[in-house]
Amino acid sequence: MLEKYRVHEVAKDLGVPTKEVVDLLGSRVPGERKSMTALNETELSVVLNHYTNQNQVENFEEYFSAGHAKKEAAAAAAKAASEQAKAQQQAAFAAQQRAARPAAPAGQPQAQQNGGRPAFNGQQGSRPQNGNRPAFNGQQGSRPQQNGNRPPFNGQQGNRPQNGNRPAFNNQNGNRPQQGQQNRPPQQNRPAPQQTQPQNGTQPAAPQKPRTRGPAMTVDTRAGSVQINIDKYNEKYDNLAQSKLGNKDTAAQKQKLNQRSAQRRQGKPAMSRKEKEDAKMRRLELERQRRKNLEITLPEEITVGDLAARLHITAAEIIKRLMGLGVMATVNETLDFDTASMVAMEIGAKVEKEVVLTIEDRLFEVEDENDEGMVERPPIVVVMGHVDHGKTSLLDAIRHANVTEGEAGGITQHIGAYQVLVNDRPITFLDTPGHAAFTSMRARGAQVTDIAVLVVAADDGIMPQTVEAINHAKAAGVSIIVAINKMDKPAANPDKVKQELTEYELVPEEWGGDVPCIPVSAKSREGISDLLEMIQLVADTSELKANPDKMAKGSVIEAKLDKGRGPVATVLVQNGTLHTGDVVIAGTAVGRVRVMLNDKGEKVDEAGPSTPVEITGLDSVPEAGDMFNAVEDERLAKELVDQRKFENKQEQFSSYEKVTLDNLFSHISQGDIKELPIIVKADVQGSVEAVKQSLEKISNDEVRVKVIHGAVGAVSESDVMLANASNAIIVGFNVRPDPVAKENAERDGVELRLYRIIYDAINDVETAMKGMLAPKYRDVDLGRAEVRQVYKITSVGTVAGCYVLEGKITRSANIRIVRDGIIVADDKLDSLKRFKDDVKEVAKGYECGMSLVKFNDIKEGDVFEAYEVEEYRE
Ligand code: GDP
């Protein structure tokens, strides 16, 4: 059943006066009708037929050609197609909306979507007069093809409807746009409404909102989404291509892009897998080539991240390669040069080590062994020997040896070193005799002397300090000349001295060896010139050379703060020439040489190689043994001094690691040491020799054990000094260090190992060299007490009346009995008393009585060392 479709509604829909419709029906169908009369099916057909026929398009071709550009038509067709789709959607929507209404009769389904009214769509083959509306949904097969084959506007007589822009045509419920009417035959005499303007609101009951025109409403979003991306891409590409090529004609490129875009649209990959792989291979090859030519410098240490940056690859790649080398590292991890260069070389880069120029490198002249400016320089001589064997007397004798009477006044200066002329060639003597000063300078890095004159009193022979001196000289690698002194004495026995020398591997020349032995007398000055000539001879064979044209460099011999002159230092120029006004840096002192005095107290302006001079002008007092350098750049020198001061402070906190048995293996593995110097001190000479030989046998492929000094007696200050200068360790058997030596060893970090059994010492050194030094027990000293009185009590035994010198003595302590630096016994306390009371401990400064478990042979002057045994691990 149709809904009621009244005459006035039909008229309105058709855009004709109601009366016209009434009249039309009156003339065709019997009956009377008014505007409110509902039309039946027949009546409606008559009306529609009539008006459709009236608006028929006679010739479609004419229509299309008539004033319409093809392009426009095509666009319109496309539009129409999309609009039709839209219309269909809307129709479907409308149908849904009307689903509740009575179903339309078969064959008129469209009536529903039109609000129950019959559509104007041409029925029964008639063409609707509103054919300018696209969506007629040609019903009943009347002309269904019109929608597909031609613009569905049915614009008559070639008048193309203007509603091409109109979005929907199915909003026919009275509010449909009226613009189509303009295309109507003029005979309809109806005023044409404004083009394209829908007559909104003319039917307030409109179920659908009228749509204003606008492409936004008809956009096919599916197509649009793809289009937008491609356009964007094309635009980018166009810009890129144009800017790159400077070519405005980009048709060809566009075509390519279109193809590409098309490919994309079709979902094809831009490149096949093979192409991709080829491209990847090419890229890798290029990278490999690039890296092959990559030359990088690497510092001593570099982080993974920095290395990656230098190699132009990712840190992940480095980490991966490190894993391959068995190194697990993170980005911030620091790699050493070897590891970093291994990775870099694996990648194909050429690696060079970064040369870090220190301020010293920039400031100081480089020494060149093949320097052509090298000329002979005077030898620098030190005098060593046992106390009272005549070192000072000999130095005096030499000093006066070739001083003529007139010069006597000029030789009173003492600046720490002096020169004498022998056959018009100077010899420089350091006038601080003894190996202590010599070694302390050496410990500071100053390798000053060329020749050591070993003074041995002919009547006394070789004494402990003579042995020390021999070993100190040997450790420093200087030539030794023996001066057998006090030859004027009746008891002089030079042969005995020579004999004893051979025991210390010093074989006199006249006995086939290489050690010159010159008999002298400092007192009578006999043999002095022979000695000097010998010094010159030895110097000549040593070929001592220096370049006087260089900036001066040398060592500080002595330094003091003079009230009037400020810091004063005696320096020994070892290379180059020092001039007044030169900027000098000595240790942490810096300044310009203001006044320069020679050993005779004369003002000089320059000092060549091997010349000692006293200088003023430094800003602080350097230390004996400090190196000094004359430099050009004062600012840089000051910078270096600041740096040195800073380093010194740091060194105080983390004192330089001396070789100990505990760290020996790490030193060996790092390749730091090739030789382990050892100083042996024992209670008897036999022990010294035994230990020396056993230790030297331990040497393996990497390290050679070398006993640089072995002697009988307590570990002395001088032993510690030698150990410090030579980076040696001290091994003692049944001996103790004297208090100063012990203190110095602790201060300087010199290892002092004390044993009671030779085997333990050998074992320790051996295992330490293999890096397997086991955790040990060690003695922890508690205190020392001196025996002041000894009481023999019949029932008790021997009781020692003691005075506690340092620390404390506890009842449970072990006691070492030390006599003249030698351990005579090792025992435990039997009793500890203050007056008559047993006590647990006695502190420093108190007297006490002690008796020992086993040892009874206590003597006055013995020292009891109380100690505990402690287990320790590294
Ligand atoms: P130093 O401790 O090695 O410096 O020895 P000295 O130079 O102080 O001399 C110690 C003592 O030996 C002094 O009393 C000197 O007079 C004496 N003396 C030094 N040389 C000789 C010498 O050649 N002959 C004699 N008879 N006595 C000497």
Q: Is 390 in the pocket of ligand 1 (CB under 6 A)?
A: yes
Ligand 1 pocket test, pick from 388, 395, 463, 493 with the greatest ligand atom count within 8 Å of Cβ, gives: 388
Q: What is the pLDDT of residue 763?
A: 83
- Beta pairing partners, 429: 381, 418
- Torsion angles phi and psi, residue 313, rounded to 5: -135, 175
Distance 525 CA to ligand 1 centre (A): 12
Instruction: Give the model's pLDDT for residue 795.
Output: 77
Is the distance from the beta carbon of residue 392 to the nearest atom of ligand 1 less than 6 Å? yes
User: What local confidence, expressed as pLDDT, does residue 597 receive?
Assistant: 92
Question: Which residues in 12-25 are b (16+ Cβ under 10 Å) and which e?
Answer: bbbbbbbebbbebb
C-alpha–C-alpha distance, residues 743 and 739, integer Å: 6
Q: Is 389 in the pocket of ligand 1 (CB under 6 A)?
A: yes
pLDDT of residue 455: 94
Using CA positions, which residue lies closest to atom 24 of ligand 1? Answer: 486
Out of 215-219, 487-491, 766-770, least confident range: 215-219
The predicted structure's pLDDT at residue 205: 42
Token pair of 135 as six digits:
């969506």
Distance from Cα 522 to the centre of ligand 1, integer Å? 7
In this prediction, residues 574-593 reach a mean pLDDT of 92
**Cα 534 to averaged position of ligand 1 atoms, centre (Å):** 21
User: Which residues share a beta bridge with 764?
Assistant: none
Tokens read off for 860: 């006055």
Ligand 1 centre distance from Cα of residue 523 (Å): 7
* 433 neighbors 383 (Cβ within 8 angstroms): yes
Q: In the prediction, which pLDDT does 92 show? A: 47
The predicted model gives 625-640 an average pLDDT of 86
Which stretches of 576-626 are assigned E, i.e. beta strand? 578-579, 583-586, 589-592, 596-597, 606-607, 612-616
**pLDDT computed for residue 124 by the predictor:** 42
More confident residue, 305 or 250: 305
3-state secondary structure of 285: helix
- The answer to whether 661 touches 769, Cβ cutoff 8 Å, is no
435 lines ligand 1 (CB under 6 A): no
Residue 523 CB–ligand 1 contact under 6 Å: yes
On average, the pLDDT of the chain sits at 75
Residues in Cβ contact with 706 at an 8 Å cutoff, skipping those fewer than 6 apart: 675, 676, 677, 678, 696
Q: Please check the confidence at residue 539 and state whether its pLDDT lies above 60.
A: yes
Instruction: From 774, 750, 767, select the one nearest 698 (Cα to Cα).
Output: 767
Name the closest-CA residue to atom 14, ligand 1. 388
pLDDT of residue 516 exceeding 90, the answer is yes
Q: Give the model's confidence band at 493: pLDDT under 50 very low, under 70 low, under 90 confident, else very high.
A: very high
231-290 pLDDT, tens per residue? 544 455 455 544 444 444 444 444 444 555 555 555 555 667 788 888 888 887 777 676
- Pinpoint the alpha helices (H) of 69-108: 70-97
pLDDT level of residue 691 (50, 70, 90 thresholds): confident
Return the bridge partners of 772, or none.
none
Judged by average pLDDT, the poorest of 131-145, 555-569, 820-834 is 131-145
CA pair distance 199, 185, nearest whole angstrom: 20
Task: Identify the bridge partners of residue 709 per DSSP, sorted by sequence position.
Answer: 679
Which pLDDT band, with edges at 50, 70 and 90, does 292 fall under? low
CB-based burial of residue 650 (10 Å sphere; 0-12 exposed, 13-18 middle, 19+ buried)?
exposed
- Calculated CA dihedral for residues 23, 28, 33, 38, nearest 10 degrees: -120
Q: Is 345 helix (H, G, I), strand (E, B) or coil?
A: helix
Nearest CA to ligand 1 atom 6: 390
Kindly state the average pLDDT of the residues 822-850. 90
Nearest alpha carbon to residue 500 among 527, 477, 535, 470: 470
Residue bearing the CA closest to ligand 1, atom 10 = 388
CA distances from residue 388 to 211, 300, 434, 458, 470 in whole angstroms, order as listed = 129, 53, 11, 12, 16
388: CA distance to ligand 1 center in Å?
A: 6
Does residue 433 have its Cβ closer than 6 Å to ligand 1?
A: yes
The response to whether residue 387 sits with its C-beta less than 6 Å from ligand 1 reads: yes
Q: Give the whole-angstrom CA distance, residue 114 versus residue 136.
A: 11
Cβ(488) – ligand 1 distance below 6 Å: yes
Residue 34 structure tokens: 């008014």
Q: List the structure tokens of 223.
A: 């197509």
Do the Cβ atoms of 573 and 446 come closer than 8 Å? no
**What 3 state SS string does 319-338 have?**
HHHHHHCCCCCCCCCEEEHH
Residue bearing the bigger pLDDT, 155 or 550? 550
pLDDT of residue 428: 93
d(C-alpha 708, C-alpha 728), whole Å? 8
Residue 451 scores a pLDDT above 60: yes
Of 440 and 49, the one with more pLDDT? 49
Distance of alpha carbon 850 from alpha carbon 832, whole angstroms? 5
Among 201-205, 592-596, 659-663, 745-749, the range of highest mean pLDDT? 592-596
Distance CA(150)–CA(173), nearest Å, equals 25
Q: Which atom of ligand 1 is nearest to the CA of 433?
A: 4
Check pocket membership of 393 for ligand 1, CB cut-off 6 A: yes
Stretch 807-832: mean pLDDT: 90
Give the rounded percent of residues in the chain with a pLDDT score beyond 70. Answer: 68
Question: How high is the pLDDT of residue 244?
Answer: 46
Distance (Å) from CA 393 to ligand 1 centroid: 5
- Measure CA 629 to chain center: 33
User: How is residue 518 written in tokens?
Assistant: 């010159």
What's the confidence (pLDDT) of residue 854? 87
Give me the helix-helix angle, 717-726 and 739-748, nearest 10°. Answer: 20
Q: Is 35 in the pocket of ligand 1 (CB under 6 A)?
A: no
Max mean pLDDT among 237-241, 587-591, 765-769 falls in: 587-591
CA angle 455/420/586 to nearest 5° reads 90
Amino acid letter for position 362: R
For ligand 1, atom 19, name the residue with the nearest CA: 390
What pLDDT is recorded for position 776?
Answer: 63
* Residue nearest atom 18 of ligand 1, based on CA coordinates: 390
Ligand 1 atom nearest to CA at 455: 3
Whether 415 and 604 have beta carbons less than 8 Å apart is answered as no
CA dihedral (816, 818, 824, 829) positive or negative: negative
CA 737 / ligand 1 centre spacing (Å): 29
> Which of 393, 488, 520, 523 best tests ligand 1's pocket when mutated (most atoms within 8 Å of CB)?
393
Nearest Cα residue to atom 17 of ligand 1: 390
pLDDT (0 to 100) of residue 458: 94
Ligand 1, atom nearest to 387 Cα: 2
394 CA distance to ligand 1 centroid (A)? Answer: 8
Of 595, 545, 535, 605, which is closest to residue 570 (Cα–Cα)? 595
CB-based contact 245:238 (threshold 8 Å) = no
| Structural contact between residues 218 and 134, judged by C-beta atoms closer than 8 angstroms | no
- Kindly state the tokens that stand for 601: 């107290």
pLDDT for position 775: 54
Query: Which residues make Cβ contacts (< 8 Å) with residue 29, sequence separation at least 6?
Result: 42, 43, 46
More confident residue, 156 or 592: 592
Label residue 203 by pLDDT band (50, 70, 90): very low
The span from the CA of 410 to the CA of 602, in Å, is: 8
Range of 29-33, 111-115, 286-290 with top mean pLDDT:
29-33
Rounded distance from Cα 427 to ligand 1 centre (Å):
22
Instruction: Identify whether the C-beta of residue 749 lies closer than 8 Å to the C-beta of residue 729.
Output: no
- Distance from the CA of 485 to the center of ligand 1, in angstroms? 8
The Cα 412–Cα 524 span in angstroms is: 21
Select the more confidently predicted residue: 102 or 782. 782
Please choose, from the candidates 371, 364, 351, the residue with its C-alpha nearest in 3D space to the C-alpha of residue 300. Answer: 351
Could you give the maximum distance between any two Cα atoms of the chain, in Å? 182
Is the model's pLDDT at 839 over the cut of 80? yes
**pLDDT at residue 562 is higher than 50:** yes
Number of residues that this document lists for the chain: 874
As a whole number of angstroms, the distance between CA 48 and CA 361 comes to 112
What H or E segment, with its residue span, contains residue 363? helix 359-363
Query: How far from 289 is each of 30, 174, 387, CA to CA, in Å?
Result: 101, 78, 74
Q: Residue 862 has what pLDDT?
A: 93
**Ligand 1 geometric centre to CA of 524 (Å):** 11
Q: Is the CB of 489 under 6 A from ligand 1?
A: yes
Q: Indicate if the pLDDT at residue 230 is higher than 80.
A: no
Say if ligand 1 is within 6 A of residue 485 CB.
yes
Say yes or no: CB of residue 486 within 6 Å of ligand 1. Answer: yes
Q: pLDDT by residue (tens digit) across 153-186?
A: 443 444 444 444 444 444 444 444 444 444 444 4
Residue ranges of the alpha helices (H) in 371-480?
A: 391-401, 435-443, 464-476
Residue 26 pLDDT > 80 = yes
Q: Please state the rounded mean pLDDT for residues 204-223.
A: 40
Residue with CA nearest ligand 1 atom 20: 390
What does the pLDDT read at residue 702? 73
The answer to whether 111 touches 117, Cβ cutoff 8 Å, is yes
Confidence of residue 696 (pLDDT cuts 50, 70, 90): confident
What pLDDT digit, counting tens, does each position of 386-426 carry?
A: 989 999 899 988 888 655 444 444 445 678 888 998 888 99
At 74, the pLDDT band (50, 70, 90 cuts) reads: very low
CA 839 from centre of chain = 60
Of 74-78, 558-562, 768-772, give the lowest mean pLDDT range. 74-78
The predicted pLDDT at position 403 comes to: 55
CB neighbour class for 473 (10 Å; exposed up to 12, middle 13-18, buried from 19): buried
Can you tell me the distance from the alpha carbon of 330 to that of 324, in angstroms, rounded to the nearest whole number? 14
Q: Are 179 and 132 in contact (CB under 8 A)?
A: yes
Residue 77 has pLDDT above 60, yes or no: no
| pLDDT score for 472 | 86
Closest by CA to 735, choosing from 852, 826, 659, 643, is 826
- Rounded to whole angstroms, the Cα distance separating 473 from 452 reads 7
Q: Distance, CA 453 to ligand 1 centroid (Å)?
A: 15
Residue 704, classed as helix, strand or coil, is: strand
Residue 209 has pLDDT above 70, yes or no: no
Distance (Å, whole) CA 495 – CA 493:
6
Lowest mean pLDDT among 293-307, 551-565, 821-835: 293-307
pLDDT at 201: 39
CA of 533 to the centre of ligand 1 (A): 22
